[in-house]
Amino acid sequence: GAVVSQHPSRVICKSGTSVKIECRSLDFQATTMFWYRQFPKQSLMLMATSNEGSKATYEQGVEKDKFLINHASLTLSTLTVTSAHPEDSSFYICSARDRANTEAFFGQGTRLTVV
């Protein structure tokens, strides 16, 4: 399958600071990227969908001003958690697909801990 690289894999930050997570498609052009959050022992919750060059579409209940998504190129999308709080601690996962395929491939995930 296609390769999606997510960085960093783990991050610990202080409450009130911002954290940026990168998601890169290494061997294909990701026309669509998805950002998910997963709390322990729960399923993936879709946060937002972004298409290259356009604004992200956020799911209901997800604060767009808190979770900033940028999909400026066909190989890179970023998620910035602004003014992070302990309740934002979670496993954040990106996935990406290209125009030719229906499958979406996942990055390795980022374990965010806000202290």
Partner 1 sequence: QKEVEQNSGPLSVPEGAIASLNCTYSDRVSQSFFWYRQYSGKSPELIMSIYSNGDKEDGRFTAQLNKASQYVSLLIRDSQPSDSATYLCAVTRGNFNKFYFGSGTKLNVKP
> What is the contact surface with partner 1 in residues (CB under 8 A)?
1, 6, 32, 34, 42-44, 46, 49, 51, 91, 93, 95, 97, 102-109, 111
Nearer to partner 1, 14 or 60 (CB): 60
| Shortest reach from residue 8's CB to partner 1, in Å | 14
- CA–CA separation, 74 and 51 (whole Å): 9
Nearer to partner 1, 100 or 115 (CB): 100
How would you class 60 by CB atoms within 10 Å of its CB: exposed for 0-12, middle for 13-18, buried for 19 or more? exposed
Nearer to partner 1, 37 or 84 (CB): 37
Structure-token pair, residue 40: 């322990």
In whole angstroms, what separates CA 97 from the centre of its chain? 13
| Shortest reach from residue 32's CB to partner 1, in Å | 6
| Shortest reach from residue 81's CB to partner 1, in Å | 18
- CA–CA separation, 14 and 29 (whole Å): 34
| Shortest reach from residue 1's CB to partner 1, in Å | 6
Nearer to partner 1, 50 or 78 (CB): 50
Find all residues with CB under 8 Å of 60, minimum gap 6, and list them.
none
